[in-house]
Structure 1
C-alpha cells in the first residue's frame, strides 16, 4: 500500500511539473496560451490528488480541511485550463491566476501540517 501511495505522489509531482513548466515556457515565449503540457498537468494533478486523498490504513491521514482546500484549488486550476485551452491568446490576468493558484496549491501541500 505504501508503494502505491509513493507512486501516486511521484506522478502527482510530475503533473505539477508539467503544469508549471508549461506555464513558464508560454510566459517566456511571450504568447500567453494554454499548451497541452498545462492541460495534461492539471488533469494528472487532479486525478492523482483525488487518489491520494483516499484514507490510509496506518492512521496518518491529512486533515480534511487541507484535502478540501487542495481539491477546490485543483478544480479551479483544471477549469481555468480546460475552458481556455482552445484560445489563441489567454488574458494575462487569467494566465497569471492559473500560475498563482498552482503555486498556492503547492504551498498548501508543503506548509499545512
Structure 2
C-alpha cells in the first residue's frame, strides 16, 4: 500500500511540475495562453490528489480540513485551466491567479500539518 502512495505522490509532483512549468514558460514568453502541459498538469494533480486523499490503513490520515482545502484549490485551478484552454490569449489576472493558486496549493501541502 505504501508503494502505491509513493507512486501517486511522484505522479502528483510531475503534474505540479507540468502545470507550474508550463505556466512559467508562457509567462516568460509574454503570450499568456493555456498550453497542453498546463492542462495535463491540472488533470494529473486533481486525479492523483483524490487518490492520495483515500483513507490509509495505518491511521495516518491527513486532516479533513486540509483535504477539503486542497480539493477546492485543485478544482479551482482545473476549472480555470480547462475553460480557458481554447482562448488565444488569457487575461493577465486570470493567468496569474492560476500560478498563485498552484503555489498556494503546494504551500498547503507542505506547511499544513
TM-score in terms of structure 2 length: 1.00
In the alignment, what sits opposite 2:3? 3
1:24 is paired with a residue whose SS is: helix
Displacement of 1:82 after TM fit?
Answer: 0.1
Q: Stretches of 4+ moved more than 4 A in 1?
A: none
Displacement of 1:36 after TM fit?
Answer: 0.3
TM-score in terms of structure 1 length: 1.00
Structure 2 residue 86 is the aligned partner of structure 1 residue 86: yes
Work out the CA distance in 1 between the residues paired with 2:25 and 2:100. Answer: 15
- In the comparison of the two structures, how many residue pairs are matched? 113
Displacement of 1:24 after TM fit?
Answer: 0.5
In the alignment, what sits opposite 1:64? 64
Displacement of 1:97 after TM fit?
Answer: 0.2
In the alignment, what sits opposite 1:27? 27
Gaps of 5+ in 2: none
In the alignment, what sits opposite 1:52? 52
In the alignment, what sits opposite 1:100? 100
Work out the CA distance in 2 between the residues paired with 1:28 and 1:68. Answer: 32
Displacement of 1:31 after TM fit?
Answer: 0.2
Gaps of 5+ in 1: none
Displacement of 1:49 after TM fit?
Answer: 0.1
CA RMSD of aligned residues (A): 0.2
In the alignment, what sits opposite 2:37? 37
